[in-house]
Each structure stands twice: as C-alpha cells, then as structure tokens.
C-alpha cells in the first residue's frame, strides 16, 4: 500500500498534482487541478485512468488545461469520471461540456458525475455524453435514482482503497477546496506474539485481520475454540495508512487556522502552494495567497512528515525561488520542491 505523487508543470507555470493510491491489488489515480499544459504532461492512458478530478477553484491557472483531459475522457466506456470542486462546479463543468459542437454523440458512452462541495452538503449532477451533455441530472429533477448525498464530516469518498476528504479554505471572495487522501489503517499480525502464544500460522490469520469478519466469530486452533475478537486483541498491531494533502490558493483566517492544523495533523506529505516570498506578505494577503514562511509554519504546527512547495509565482527569478525554499526551510526543515524542478 502506498501513495505516490507527481507535481505537473514547472516552477512559475501552472501546476497540478497527479496522485496514485496503490493498494497492492489495484491502482487509484486522482488529479488535483488541471492548469495549462498539466494534463498534457500525463500519458493518454494515465489521463484516461483518472478516477477523480478534484478542482480547488476555477481561476484560469487551475482549469486552463481541462480541454486536454476532456478530450481523452469525454466518451470513456468503463467508469464514470468523477469531478469535484467548490460552489459553481456544476455550472462551470456544464458550460465546458457544452462548449463544443456535438453531432456524433448519439449512443456514445460517457458519464460525468460532478459534485459541488459546500460547507454542509454536496450537490451532484450527472451528465451523459449520449445526450451531448444537454441535461444536468440532479436529485431535484426527474431522475429519482440520483439521491442527494449527505456530507459526512469532511469525507467525500470512503472505500476500501482510500478516503478522500475536503476542507473549504478562503481565497478571497471565493472558496478554494483543500483535499486530503488517507489510506485505511494497516492491520498486521504481530509474529513474535503469535509464536509466544504458540499459535501456528494458517489461513485463519486472514480472518483476524479482515475487518469484515465479526468479533464474535469462532475459529478452532488445536481443537480449542477462540473468538476472533479475543485473537485480535492479542495479535493485531495497527498503524495509520499513508496520507497526503493538497492545498493551494488560500489565506488562513484566524477562524480556520486551528481547524486546518487539526485536520492536517500528522499527514505524511503536504503539497502546498508557496506563491510569495515572505517579504511580499502584504501582497500575499491582498491576493489571498500564502508565503513561504506561512506555509512552513503550517507544516510545522500540523506536524506533517514532509512539505513540498508548488505554485510559486513567475514574478521571481530562479535565484529567488531557491531563496524561497530556504525561507520555508528556516521554519520547517523537511521542505523541498517537487522532483524534477531544476531550481536547487
């Protein structure tokens, strides 16, 4: 089980984040934002494998590359494309879908499930390629099978492979959605404990680690009956799964700094914007962006494992970007630029 990631785009350009959750049995790719040239940096097959496209917000530098993504996926046959974003996502996507001439769409596959993340609810609309994306099917329309989803805490997706969470941040007069991916807790058998207790390994061990098996179930070991729950208490060691968060285009308010820190607490990897040098803090505040040191302080206070800086402003020179990295490191030493950025 692992979470791997690639920041798409160069320093000073539009950036996006490609993430793959690998359960060992299946791969789950996600794309966070889709600025100019970002989707084009993925292979076509990688683009077509994206299960969730997650927008922070719709400033141009975060959506300008969407047409490339759409072109590779508009009629994809097997699985729907899930799109997530802030308020207005359904309208923005609908206009995007309809911004082409459609006359050969009849009978084509393609289903787009578009969700708007609000503070306490999620709105959903589904679009079909065979309808030329004409109708937004919502729970308030005639399509009863699309029931409204309840917003459960900050959780958008919760399945066996990973949990996708969201936090609504402040980007001036519009929200910017932060996302966090968390793998399920890892449950392993303590082999030293197993031999101390004199139990022989066997297929019964998978029942002990499988959360779908009830505590009350009984297994026979050397003709002695044991409750699975009791065996779990003695044998299972669990540790948190890997986690990664993506935050971009925001300013922390007095009101949301503490909840964001609590939400990010202990996250392995924080991929975060660092649009401005700390000397330009007034400018950052005016534009509802972060500075290097503010991001470093966020990483430090949230106790993350590592901080990866992206979305640095093109107003700076390469030398200044290098200095920006050092600024963040003075606050949070385990900070880097994405692999492949020739800045250091």
Q: Which range, of 37-45, 202-210, 249-257, 312-320, touches Zn ion by CB under 5 A?
A: 249-257
Query: Least separation, in Å, of the C-beta of 292 and Zn ion?
Result: 16
If phi over 0 gives left and psi between -120 and 50 gives alpha, with beta otherwise, what is residue 186? beta
Residue from 96, 82, 98 nearest 134 by CA? 98
Neighbours of 176 (CB within 10 A): 26
Give the residue with the Cβ less far from Zn ion, 8 or 228. 8
- Contact segment (CB under 5 A) with Zn ion among 3-11, 90-98, 153-161, 245-253 equals 245-253
Cβ–Cβ < 8 Å for 158, 181:
no
Choose between 59 and 96: whose C-beta lies nearer to Zn ion.
59
Q: Which of 14, 33, 61, 249 is catalytic?
A: 61
d(CA 290, CA 272): 9
Taking the complex as a whole, the smallest distance from the CB of residue 249 to Zn ion amounts, in Å, to 4
Q: Is 116 a binder of Zn ion (CB under 5 A)?
A: no
Among 41, 59, 151, 300, binds Zn ion (CB under 5 A): 59
State which of positions 66-105 bind Zn ion (CB under 5 A). Answer: none
**Active-site residue 280, yes or no?**
no
For helices 292-302 and 254-264, angle between their N-to-C axes, nearest 10 degrees: 50
Under 8 Å CB-to-CB from 262, ≥6 apart: which residues? none
Nearest distance, CB of residue 57 and Zn ion, angstroms: 6
Burial of 41 per CB tally in 10 Å (0-12, 13-18, 19+):
middle
Return phi, psi of residue 287, to 5°: -100, 10
Quote the least distance from Cβ 171 to Zn ion, whole Å: 6
- Rounded least distance, CB 275 to Zn ion, Å: 7
The residue with tokens 């002990």 is: 208
Q: Which CB atom, from 228 or from 260, has the smaller least distance to Zn ion?
A: 260
Work out which of 87, 124, 183, 249 binds Zn ion, going by CB under 5 A. Answer: 249
Q: Which of 8, 15, 50, 61 binds Zn ion (CB under 5 A)?
A: 61
What is the rounded CA–CA span in Å between residue 203 and residue 211?
A: 15
Contact between 36 and Zn ion per CB under 5 A: no
61/183 with CB nearer Zn ion:
61
113 lies in the binding site for Zn ion (CB under 5 A): no
> For residue 67, what are the β-bridge partners?
none
As a whole number of angstroms, the distance between CA 195 and CA 176 comes to 52
Give the residue with the Cβ less far from Zn ion, 56 or 123: 56
CA 330/CA 333 separation, integer angstroms: 6
Residues annotated as catalytic (active site), given as ranges = 61
Q: What is the binding site for Zn ion (CB under 5 A)?
A: 59, 61, 249
């Amino acid at each position: 089980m692992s979470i791997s990631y690639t920041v798409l785009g160069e320093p000073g350009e539009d950036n996006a984040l490609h993430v793959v959750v690998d359960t060992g049995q299946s791969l789950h790719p996600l794309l966070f934002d889709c600025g100019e040239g970002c989707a084009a940096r993925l292979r076509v097959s990688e683009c077509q494998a994206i299960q969730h496209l997650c927008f922070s917000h719709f400033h141009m530098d975060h959506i300008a590359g969407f047409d490339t993504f759409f072109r590779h996926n508009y009629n994809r046959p097997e699985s729907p494309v899930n799109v997530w974003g802030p308020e207005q996502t359904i309208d923005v996507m609908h206009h995007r879908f309809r911004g082409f001439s459609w006359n050969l769409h009849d009978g084509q596959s393609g289903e787009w499930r578009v969700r708007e993340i609000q503070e306490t609810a999620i709105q959903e609309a589904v679009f079909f390629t065979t309808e030329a994306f004409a109708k937004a099917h919502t729970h308030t329309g005639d399509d009863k099978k699309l029931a409204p989803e309840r917003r459960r805490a900050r959780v958008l997706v919760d399945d066996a492979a990973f949990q996708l969470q969201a936090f609504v941040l402040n980007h001036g007069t519009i929200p910017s959605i932060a996302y966090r991916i968390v793998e399920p807790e890892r449950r392993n058998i303590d082999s030293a404990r197993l031999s101390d207790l004199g139990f022989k390994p066997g297929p019964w061990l998978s029942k002990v680690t499988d959360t779908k098996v009830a505590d009350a179930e009984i297994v026979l070991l050397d003709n002695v009956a044991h409750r699975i729950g009791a065996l779990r208490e003695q044998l299972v060691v669990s540790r948190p799964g890997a986690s990664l968060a993506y935050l971009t285009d925001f300013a922390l308010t007095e009101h949301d700094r503490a909840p964001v820190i609590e939400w990010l607490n202990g996250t392995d990897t924080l991929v975060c914007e660092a649009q401005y040098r700390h000397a330009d803090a007034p400018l950052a505040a005016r534009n509802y962006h972060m500075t290097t040191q503010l991001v470093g302080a966020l990483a430090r206070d949230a106790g993350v494992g590592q901080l990866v800086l992206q979305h640095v402003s093109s107003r700076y020179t390469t030398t200044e970007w290098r200095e920006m990295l050092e600024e963040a490191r003075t606050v949070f030493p385990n900070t880097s630029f994405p692999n492949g950025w020739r800045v250091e």
